[in-house]
Amino acid sequence: MKSLQTGHVVAEMVTVLDSTLFFLINGHHCTAADWFFLAVTQLGNGWFIGPVLIGIVLYKLPRNYRTRAILCGAVALLFSGTVNSRIKRIVGRPRPYVHFAQGEDAAARNVTDGKTVEANDTAIGKTVRLLGPKYRNRSFPSGHTNTAFSAAALLAFLFGGWWCWSYLAAVPVAYSRVYLGVHYPTDVVAGVLTGVLLTLAVLHLCRYLKLIPLPRWNNGQ
């Protein structure tokens, strides 16, 4: 019983921290940042980053390695994305702009489409600022973050060296998901973990089993 109570307290603390960080990030904005994060978040779009990755592999790797590297990378990213989507359906966490607009929170917070509204007498002055499309699927984990960090893991694994900085390039994508109002901070943390760990697991398995042989390009050239 005591352990259950402790777990409940910890869960409540995480929830409060999650909401606090969400409003801290989502509530601080400017026009230039709006345009920047609307653009950079596309790096987590599989239809955008997929051709980019293929282009990098075709440019960087010798011809005899290209097909195998692309196949292995595709399997890794598809597996990571599929598991991430499955977790979304199982957890079923509503998006922030949905959660704070319904139930008891409806009287305490306002939801706007990129516009700031004045808090009324019953509000506490919190505003979910939504930029971009409203997604119908669930929130946890973040799919865009998963894709961005999966791509970074693939590049770091294939090329090593300076390509490990790809992880740093994926950070703004994760931040953008909270900034745009479509994810909580814990959503993006989970997206990072599923993206990196699952992608690397598949890549190492491919190398270990020699199903799709890969060269070890760790010179960063």
pLDDT in tens, 50-61: 999 999 999 988
Contacts for 176 with CB less than 8 Å, ≥ 6 apart: 37, 38, 40, 41, 44, 144
Name the phi and psi angles at 132, rounded to 5: 90, -170
Write the DSSP symbol of residue 161. Answer: G
Least confident of 13-22, 35-44, 187-196: 13-22
Give φ, ψ of 110 to 5 degrees. Answer: -115, 145
The two three-digit tokens of residue 72, written as one number: 């292995």
Q: Is the pLDDT of residue 115 over 50?
A: no
Highest mean pLDDT among 3-12, 156-165, 191-200: 191-200
66 contacts 54 by C-beta, under 8 angstroms: no
> Is-contact 182 97, C-beta < 8 A?
yes
Query: How many angstroms separate the CA atoms of 56 and 220, rounded?
Result: 13
Q: Give the Cα separation of 184 and 181 in Å (integer).
A: 8
The more confidently predicted of residues 214 and 20 is 20
Q: Domain map of the chain by residue range? A: 2-94+139-209
Cβ partners under 8 Å of residue 62, min gap 6: 215
Top mean pLDDT of 3-17, 26-40, 59-73 is at: 26-40
Provide the total of helices (H) and of strands (E) in the chain, helices listed first.
9, 2
pLDDT grade, residue 126 (50/70/90)? low
